[in-house]
Structure 1
Amino acid sequence: MSIPDTDPRIPVLVLTGFLGSGKSTLLRPLLQAPQFAGAAVIVNEMGEIPIDHLLIDYPGEDIVLLDNGCLCCALRSDLSEALERLYRTAARDNRTIPSVLVETTGLASPAPIVRTFATERNVKARFRLASLAAAVDAEFGEATLKAHQEAVHQVVFADELVITKADKAEPSRLQALSDEIRRLNPHAPIRTSGKDPERPADLLWERIPSALPAERWARLLTGPQAAHHHAHGVETCAFEVTEPFDWPRLADFLGRIVDELAPALLRCKGVINIAGVEKPVVIHGVHHIFYPPETLEEWPDASRRSRLVFILDGANRRSLLDIFAAAGIAIMESRAA
């Protein structure tokens, strides 16, 4: 459904999904789609060493990083301020923002974000929540929905659902996950995606929809899914490494991570300096799976330090530090949530 001409407010489309579900993989090609030409982008990250915004590769001028915490917690006010800042900057420059895309952290519950658009006066006057999509990992989605209430809330609130990495899952597992998602949310369409959708514009938000129905907001915001409690024991550990890696050393280090921490490894992401490789190398891992490395076009700064972020379920920070020590890797730690 296209934007109604009678509503002059800026449409905001929010992309949620648990840690490692492939949100950035969905977002990157969407930013090249014609319906999002000139869109502003807000990226929310956990941890004191932000990485996700580097992976988007967005040429537009309006990109905002919110890296002090989760959008549904203290950063709810930061979301309002970021939207206001985008609006005022565009007005000052005598230009318009056609739409805003928001990528949340994987631990974000949608309820407080939806409440921002439903109740905050300045936000309501200038912006409308047009869609809230949730990405669900085909490989780990069933286990994640059982273990983490945030993932359930993301599915329940969504009006668009995408099962990512569908090419990595057996058909029976894919069907079981689809059935569970449909049980949690009987109304939202469910799409499937491999690692690189051939037609991403057709996969999600082919057209910018009209605002979500107010009655659906009201029902969701008064139900049990509106309660917001982060999972206990989830810890984010962020590190910088000054010395370059070589490929064998990196492979050995990641192998140790998988062998010792796979069940607790909710997410690993990193921008790595590889000796003899001019461009930064990006790594991604979830539990026991690390995906093929990618490269960025340029380093974010002159330091060329490797940056690694681990999101762990349970008290595993000490084990992680022991793995660095055993591999002989000198680190500078920035302890986050």
Structure 2
Amino acid sequence: MATANRAPVTLLTGFLGSGKTTLLNRLVRQPSFADCVVIVNEFGEIGLDNLLIEHVEESMRILNNGCICCTVRGDLVDTLVDLAQRRAQGMLSFSRAVIETTGLADPAPILHSLTVDPSLTPDWVLESVVTTVDAVNGNATLSAHSQAARQVGVADLLVVTKTDLTDGATAVRLRTRLAAINPQAEIASPTDNDLARRLSETSLAAAWRPIHGAHHQHTHEHDTNGLIAHSVVFDEPVDEAAFLDWVDLLAAMKGENLLRVKGIVAVASDPSRPRIIQAVQHVVHPVTVMARWPSEDRRTRIVFIVQGIDPSVIDRTFKRYGVGSKSSAATA
């Protein structure tokens, strides 16, 4: 299948009971998701979620008896390859895919497969990562389960569910905590009328949203389960080769704790066309070259979501590589 015809993939994740299947039901009723293929992973031998999804049977794939991030990851790859082949042969017709993970999944290995597996990249492209968070139990879940915090940390869009079952103060505290864990993610409600549209706009858009307070170094005290969101801004264009070498080095040395890197980069050799850089753990995604800057702000802006990495290590190695100058940083 030609690269131009790659089908976008939405990865839908969130902890157990956070409302993923309910949100998926809303999405597949939207016109822009009407012709999507749905892949559901359930942890256990008996699948139930597929019975709750209002979707045509021939466009549904169920991966049972394991977590999609480990024991059935090979099945996910095989399923996507099979779907792409059937689409190319005219046996199936769909324009996009939604993968709903089990609530126990660490999304990082799935992102790895979608972005670097040579059997998938010709036919599929990751569009966005959506994480559901239960407004009633969200704070307790984030405190008790580090996996929930990791799901929040990799999201492009956070959908806070069950807000009608809790009070306003609890919801505000949860949103504050979510913003501390992942300040670049949008936060939405499942009832937002434009939710389907926002899903297709968040993947790269998050890279150039303003980094609030990035001009001043500061630390906010929030319970983030050891996750740190560290933002770096460079006023001057960077040396592209040195920058990419530095990102590769950081991923190689600290990849296990490098949950996500996302940014828009001004390069000295081609300042009118910014680069979009994204990395997940040990994997640095291929650089995307944009045709133009999305706004008048042409500074390099990078957000690192890390766990167990001192942000000063990032800043120190950045300077050692001589990548840029006139920088400012913010840590949350």
Q: TM-score scaled by structure 1?
A: 0.60
1:16 partnered with 2:8? no
Q: What secondary structure sits across from 1:74 in the alignment? A: coil
Residue by residue over 1:194-249, the C-alpha shift from the partner in whole angstroms, topping out at 9 and shown as x without a partner, is xxx3x5x52344463486579627444247559xxxxxxxxxxxxxxxxxxxxxxx
Aligned residues: 217
| Rounded Cα–Cα distance in structure 2 between residues aligned with 1:204 and 1:33 | 7
The match for 1:51 is: 48
Residue by residue over 1:175-208, the C-alpha shift from the partner in whole angstroms, topping out at 9 and shown as x without a partner, is 1100000000000110134xxx3x5x52344463
Q: CA deviation at 1:169?
A: 1.1
Q: Is the 8 A contact 2:14 2:148 kept in 1?
A: yes
Q: What secondary structure sits across from 1:139 in the alignment? A: coil
Q: Is the 8 A contact 2:11 2:99 kept in 1?
A: yes
| Rounded Cα–Cα distance in structure 2 between residues aligned with 1:95 and 1:22 | 28
Query: Which of the residues 281, 285, 294 maps onto 1:221?
Result: 281
Q: Which residue type is aligned with residue 190 of structure 1?
A: I
More contact order relative to length (CA 8 Å, sep ≥ 6): 1
Q: Is the 8 A contact 2:160 2:187 kept in 1?
A: yes
1:144 partnered with 2:141? yes
Q: What secondary structure sits across from 2:119 in the alignment? A: helix
| Rounded Cα–Cα distance in structure 2 between residues aligned with 1:138 and 1:211 | 23
Q: Which residue type is aligned with residue 160 of structure 1?
A: L
Q: Is the 8 A contact 1:128 1:211 kept in 2?
A: no
Q: What secondary structure sits across from 1:28 in the alignment? A: helix
Of all paired residues, the percent bearing the same amino acid is 39
Structure 1 alignment gaps of length 5 or more: 1-5, 227-337
Cα separation, partners in 2 of 1:208 and 1:221, compared to 1, 3 Å: same
Q: TM-score scaled by structure 2?
A: 0.61
Q: What secondary structure sits across from 2:99 in the alignment? A: strand
The match for 1:253 is: none
Residue by residue over 1:301-330, the C-alpha shift from the partner in whole angstroms, topping out at 9 and shown as x without a partner, is xxxxxxxxxxxxxxxxxxxxxxxxxxxxxx
Cα separation, partners in 2 of 1:88 and 1:7, compared to 1, 3 Å: closer
The match for 2:195 is: 203
Q: How does 1:1-337 map to 2 (within 5 A)?
A: 7-59=4-56, 61-93=58-90, 95-193=92-190, 197=191, 202-206=194-198, 208-209=200-201, 212=204, 216=262, 218-222=278-282, 224=306
Cα separation, partners in 2 of 1:152 and 1:211, compared to 1, 3 Å: closer
| Rounded Cα–Cα distance in structure 1 between residues aligned with 2:106 and 2:142 | 13
